[in-house]
Amino acid sequence: MDEASLGQGLWRAVVEQLAQEMPEQQFNTWIKPLTAVVSDDLSKVTLYVANRFKLDWIRAQYAGRLAAMLEETYGQPVAIELAIAQRDAAVRTVVRPVRTGAPAAGYASGTSSGMGLGPSYGPASRSGGGYQQNAQDYGGDGFRGNAAQHAAQHEVAPAAASGNSSEIDSINGSGNFRNRLNPALTFDTLVEGTANRMARSAAMHVAASPGHLYNPLFIYGGVGLGKTHLVHAVGNKLLADNPDAKVLYIHAEQFVSDVVKSYQRRTFDEFKERYHSLDLLLIDDVQFFANKDRTQEEFFNAFEALLAKKSHIVMTSDTYPKGLANIHERLVSRFDSGLTVAIEPPELEMRVAILINKSRAEGTEMPEEVAFFVAKNVRSNVRELEGALRKILAYSRFNQKEISIQLAREALRDLLSIQNRQISVENIQKTVADYYKIKVADMYSKKRPASIARPRQIAMYLAKELTQKSLPEIGELFGGRDHTTVLHAVRKIGGERQQLTELNQQLHVLEQTLKG
């Protein structure tokens, strides 16, 4: 394999992994448009961006993670340079060197073997959780701290939209209607298991007979469990049966942006006509409507209009309807008026099946014993499974070795070193109690003031994330509490972690303290 091909393969492996880990909207906005130029010796990568705003944002939010992924994939440090691409042949370079692993910075320089990120690098098989990319995987704001999210929180149009075709044009513009569905996400490619069986069954019923039972269908669960895959599958099945149906998949952040742009451009009548004329609306992560009164009002109007004309609505969220914060009561009651189903973390057999199926989709057979080894060590969600799989495939490809348990150990050595550090629930309780300045005894007491209940929930969440203990076992160690109490704490803290930067940073500190 020549140097140019190796360079292309190195960058492609990183991009493919990001496509799985990042929310689709953020991937398409920030990573997909990059043009990468890899040096002949693979020691440097230059990333060309459209303008200063994007350069600064990518440097602050993604550069550290990109450098770490390049080093992890290649096995040696890879310097990164960020440069502003000009419309003509000249390229103005902005160099900000930083060591690999630094949290937010640009890097050194590089030339040669360039490749643009065209459509082939888009997410091929994102599974679950939209747009809530696992911020906890990377600490800080992670991939969620983007301009679109900031804009959505304040109901203003994102600054990063300048120079790009706007999303609202896909709703309001003339011409073919864009449904925004990923054709790769179907019921056939969704692995069924105990964790998602009820949700999958309800979704298939909706796809086969929209507008009747289970309207609206509200699917909730943690990050990376397959919610987004499921809603795309509903849309793809309906279009397969009825190609003329008007179907739209959209993330709640984008709905907020569309509302704002419609007001700004005075195209709101067209906006309402388009949304209200749908046969099926699929909307991801409705918890992002929190504190956005104008958006909630418009979604309520669209909701009522669609139900009145027997159109179907399928929504996802990180929590059940009544657990949503800062959403109008009348909207919550609408969410809860149809069928509400949960998706749980996948059990061992389901994780094994997911790994085998997805490796086949990548054109590689993963031995069953390797799949079991990985599944036993990656337990939290589908997205982390996919990330582990891609690391193994990339490691196998670059080292030209067959996939085996030993190769999986080498590829996942960082993950396994964390897993093997025997973190105890008792240590978690003590660490969290010290951090929040409460007594360890409060962890298993019956006291319920917020100053105690909140740290207790955080400790339960960390116990589930960092130990092999079951929910009942954790509950027992927290004063004999029921497993449903632990489950509620895990979901609550996990969901809030995606939205609250301060909480995410606190959890990151606690995790690093516990992991040593």
Whole-structure pTM over 0.75, yes or no? no
Sheet with 79-85, side-by-side order of all strands: 91-94, 79-85, 44-49, 35-38, 114-116
Stretch among 78-92, 104-118, 358-372, 442-456 having the lowest mean pLDDT: 104-118
**Beta strands per DSSP E along 70-221:** 79-85, 91-94, 114-116, 217-221
Residue with tokens 């159109």: 311
| pLDDT of 486 | 93
Encode 349-384: b = buried (16+ Cβ within 10 Å), e = exposed. Answer: ebbbbbbbbbbeeeeeebeeebbbbbbebbbbbbbb
Peptide bond into 33 cis (omega under 30): no
Q: How many other C-beta atoms are found inside a 10 Å radius of the C-beta of residue 43?
A: 14
Q: Are 395 and 387 within 8 A, CB to CB? A: no
| pLDDT of 178 | 79
The enclosing H or E element of 314 equals: strand 312-317
Q: How far apart are the first and last CA of the chain?
A: 40
Tokens of 355: 């790994």
DSSP sequence for 160-173: GGTTS--TTHHHHS
| pLDDT of 25 | 62
Q: How many other C-beta atoms are found inside a 10 Å radius of the C-beta of residue 66?
A: 24
DSSP sequence for 393-446: HHHHHHHT----HHHHHHHTHHHHHHHTS---HHHHHHHHHHHHT--GGGGGSS
| pLDDT of 110 | 32
Pick the more confident residue, 332 or 377.
332
Q: What is the pLDDT of residues 423-469, one digit of tens each?
A: 788 889 989 998 898 988 889 888 788 889 999 999 999 999 888 78
Q: Are 181 and 249 within 8 A, CB to CB? A: yes
Cα(408)–Cα(355) distance, integer angstroms: 13
Domains in the chain (CATH in brackets) are 3-121 (3.30.300.180), 135-343 (3.40.50.300), 348-419 (1.10.8.60), 425-515 (1.10.1750.10)
CA nearest neighbour of 384 among 420, 346, 341? 346
Cα(230)–Cα(228) distance, integer angstroms: 5
Q: What is the pLDDT of residues 356-380, one digit of tens each?
A: 888 888 888 899 888 988 888 777 6
Stretch among 51-65, 110-124, 307-321, 454-468 having the lowest mean pLDDT: 110-124
Which residues contribute to the annotated binding site? 224, 226-228
Which alpha helices (H) appear in 242-292, and where do they start and end? 252-265, 268-276
Which residues contribute to the annotated binding site for ATP? 224, 226-228
Q: What is the pLDDT of residues 188-243, one digit of tens each?
A: 888 888 888 889 999 999 999 888 888 999 998 877 788 999 999 999 999 999 99
Mean pLDDT, residues 303-315: 93
Q: Are 343 and 196 within 8 A, CB to CB? A: yes
Cα(225)–Cα(196) distance, integer angstroms: 9
**In whole angstroms, how large is the CA radius of gyration of the chain?**
23
| pLDDT of 247 | 94
pLDDT over 90 percentage in the chain? 23
Angle, helices 52-61/63-74, rounded to nearest 10 degrees: 60
Mean pLDDT, residues 245-274: 88
Which alpha helices (H) appear in 309-412, and where do they start and end? 329-335, 348-361, 368-377, 382-399, 405-411
Sheet with 312-317, side-by-side order of all strands: 247-251, 280-284, 312-317, 217-221, 339-343
